[in-house]
Structure 1
Amino acid sequence: MKKIYLIRHAKAEKDEIKSDFERKLNHTGKEDLKRLFLRLQNYEINPDMIFSSPAKRTAKTAKKLAKFYHFNRGKITYINSLYTANAEQIYDLIKDMSRAFNEIFIVGHNPALKELGELLSTLCLDSFPTSSVLCLEFDINDFTQLKTHSGKLIFFEHIRALKSEKMGNDTQENINQG
């Protein structure tokens, strides 16, 4: 069995002076990652490798993930093509992964991650918000055996759902108190 985690970077600063590549995580993005990590504690996740776009916001997201999972940050592999890659290019990249890896993180950008999630599974995703993690499981022994639309959804956690849950809980508390 193999697992692929598609991870969209956290929210980045909007800076018209900096290039898109140089944009860093903003305060909201950093806080969103903390909330996301609390939710991810519900799953048994053991990354063998983290692959990331080298853009500042994805690299920082990858480093925060590595720290959270006690993964050696020096072993994160930054792949230049992940910055501009489309879904098919990332799919080809995954098919070339080492057989030794069982759980891989791909930290990247939209729309490629949304499209890749749909290519690897039978999902039809409305969106792939910042601070999202889509986990798919494949009944294969080697990534060269990867087939389109064969992934089984394990979970899709994203900050929009976590925020709406919190709002729902706050609303329920207000109803109970009122």
Structure 2
Amino acid sequence: MLETKRLLLRQWEDADYPHFARMCADPEVMRYFPSTLSEIESNHLADKIRATIDQNGWGFWAVELKQTGEFIGFVGIHMVDGESGIPNAPLMEISWRLAKHHWHKGYATEAAEQAMRYAFFVLGIEDLFAYTSKQNIPSQMLMKRLGMTNTRLDFNHPKVPDGHELQNHCLYRIDKQALMAGNLFGSIK
């Protein structure tokens, strides 16, 4: 488990699944994905995420508000294999998805910064990547707040159908040296 001032990043619990299913069925939350997810699809995804954390000790952690114990989404890291069709793969990806009533409160940035610390200083990763549809300006703004830069290696996501409006993606990157030089997190221990 990881902790920030306001959040816990932890393993998933059974009680998180209905909240996650509501998030994944919300057209606003899923705006930059090809489709919303059914409850079965959402549960299957949560099972896969949970199993990855069981196996590795890290992954897309469930994010919980410390003050209320409420599940608000996930933030974390994931290894993308070399056969994925993503430029620079294999690579370590950072990603997030929060319930819409928790947007614009700084939670995604706070949790992502902690996940970055874990990737760089616990796992010893040298580069961290994030990608999204080129239309997803809010996620790109978060990537920039995290100190990531656009690699300009735009690509058509292999899991998005040909011709779909969200097919074209951008790839952002930050490396450990840039993080240290920019001292983005204040005093890093």
TM-score (norm 2): 0.30
Which of 1 and 2 has greater Rg?
A: 1
Name whichever structure is richer in helix by fraction. 1
Taking structure 1 as the reference length, the TM-score comes to: 0.31
Q: Which has the higher contact order (CA 8 A, sep 6+)?
A: 1
